[in-house]
């Protein structure tokens, strides 16, 4: 259990911690906003392409050893941030992304295997740990970089201490070499999912939610600073956003268990995310409130989307296939978000168009939620 929790701690913070110090990185390496957006996009491209790699690796060396390799890659990428080179920073970030991708794909299968009667509790726990650790580290990263002139490079690389402890905790598991679940290895063979309108609606919901979320992961501190928030406070609010997104899982799961039809819930939560973006536009003095609201409501939409993958499918292989489709296409869409946002900011010299883009993405999620929130499965939808 401790091994799972500490692996989860590594699956977001090494990437999300970039945002509060992104201005310092841009200044040191003279990056354009588009290049800076690409820095936060690299891990998302790795997430999108990582599923086949993770499955292939697990088939060769086993799930336990694959997760160990994932931690090693994350640690190596973190240490590379000490190298005073923009190329090293980009390469190291890509390596971290590959490690996180392997962990994202394989950790749920370990939970399902070892805690079959506690799936909801363990899943909620590891989602919460990801959010709390990434949020806490984002809040601390800027003060840490300023402490005794430590600098952003050492502050970012310092997370490797947690990664090293995670590696030590996971060492006893290396005696096992369990292959990945058959459904995971054969997920790409279920072509019905790719022809299903319902599957595309769920993918749209998750894709545009991720598009919005990763714009915020990459640029939220910069957006807040332009709206009048101090840099240190912007880093804290960036952390608050992430913690609120994790807490959403605890609040939403009991409600989901009681609802058969989630159309109104999906539409309302996504619409409230749009309201939060408008709040940053027109009432930035309430930045703390909007940061909590944006994190909580976007986190709820994400949990809903993940739940729809199970609720709207009829077989385990179909569930796995839809998960692969939604995550692959969703992360590819999300990968474009930070770059598009960076380009818009450099073109208009303002973050206002980016916030309007976030409003549009949330409204698309709201419309998609009206369709995929219906109490129907892919096979039932195809039969109509």
* pTM of the full structure: 0.79
Closest CA to 20 of 139, 161, 176, 185: 139
Residue 191 CB partners (closer than 8 Å, separation 6+): none
**Over residues 336-352, mean pLDDT:** 92
Distance in angstroms (rounded) separating the CA atoms of residues 128 and 9: 9
Is pLDDT above 90 for 296? Answer: yes
List, for residues 151-200, the tens digit of each pLDDT value: 999 999 999 999 999 999 999 999 887 877 666 665 544 567 888 999 99
Taking CA atoms, 265 is separated from 154, 254, 261, 290, in Å, by 43, 13, 8, 20
Q: Which residue do the tokens 């950790």 mark?
A: 107
State which fold the 188-384 domain adopts. Answer: Growth Hormone; Chain: A; (1.20.1250)
Instruction: Specify the pLDDT at position 384.
Output: 67
Closest CA to 311 of 241, 382, 260, 239: 260
List, for residues 97-113, the tens digit of each pLDDT value: 999 988 887 887 788 78
Domains 1-185 and 188-384 share a fold: yes
Instruction: Specify the pLDDT at position 191.
Output: 61
CATH match of 1-185 with 3.90.1150.10: no
Residue 284 CB partners (closer than 8 Å, separation 6+): 224, 227, 228, 229, 290
Q: How confident is the model at residue 220 (pLDDT cuts 50, 70, 90)?
A: very high
Q: In this structure, how many other beta carbons lie within 10 angstroms of the beta carbon of residue 376? A: 16
Is pLDDT above 80 for 250? Answer: no
Q: Which tokens hold the place of 295?
A: 């994190």
Asked if residues 19 and 70 have their Cβ atoms less than 8 Å apart, the reply is: no
> Domains of the chain: which residue ranges?
1-185, 188-384
Closest CA to 214 of 101, 338, 382, 71: 338
């Amino acid at each position: 259990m401790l091994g799972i929790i500490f692996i989860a701690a590594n699956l977001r913070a090494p990437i999300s911690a970039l945002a509060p110090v992104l201005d310092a990185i841009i200044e040191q390496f003279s990056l354009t906003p588009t290049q800076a957006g690409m820095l936060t996009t690299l891990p998302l491209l790795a997430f999108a392409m990582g599923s086949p790699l993770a499955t292939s690796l697990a088939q060769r060396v086993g799930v336990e050893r694959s997760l160990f390799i994932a931690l090693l890659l994350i640690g190596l990428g973190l240490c590379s941030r000490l190298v005073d080179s923009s190329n090293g920073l980009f390469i190291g970030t890509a390596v971290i992304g590959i490690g996180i991708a392997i962990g994202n794909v394989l950790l749920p299968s370990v939970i399902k295997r070892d805690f079959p009667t506690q799936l909801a509790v363990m899943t909620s726990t590891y989602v919460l740990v990801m959010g709390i650790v990434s949020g806490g580290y984002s809040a601390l990263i800027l003060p840490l970089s300023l402490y005794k002139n430590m600098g952003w490079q050492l502050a970012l690389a310092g997370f490797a201490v947690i990664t090293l402890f995670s590696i030590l905790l996971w060492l006893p598991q290396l005696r096992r070499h369990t292959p990945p679940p058959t459904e995971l290895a054969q997920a790409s063979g279920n072509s019905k999912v790719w022809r299903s309108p319902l599957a595309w609606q769920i993918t749209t919901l998750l894709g545009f939610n991720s598009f919005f979320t990763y714009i915020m992961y990459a640029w939220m501190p910069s957006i807040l600073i332009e709206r009048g928030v101090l840099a240190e406070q912007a880093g804290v609010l960036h952390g608050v956003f992430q913690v609120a997104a994790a807490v959403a899982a605890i609040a939403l799961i009991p409600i989901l268990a009681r609802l058969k039809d989630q159309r109104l819930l999906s539409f309302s939560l996504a619409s409230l995310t749009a309201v939060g973006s408008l709040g940053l536009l027109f009432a930035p003095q309430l930045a703390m409130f909007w940061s909590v609201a944006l994190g909580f409501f976007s986190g709820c939409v994400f949990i809903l989307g993940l739940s729809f993958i199970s609720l709207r499918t009829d077989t385990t292989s179909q569930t796995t296939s839809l998960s692969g489709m939604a995550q692959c296409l969703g992360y590819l869409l999300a990968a474009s978000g930070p770059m598009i946002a960076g380009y818009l900011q450099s073109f208009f010299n303002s973050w206002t168009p980016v916030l309007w883009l976030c409003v549009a993405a949330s409204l698309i999620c709201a419309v998609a939620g009206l369709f995929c929130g219906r109490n129907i499965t892919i096979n039932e939808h195809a039969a109509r």
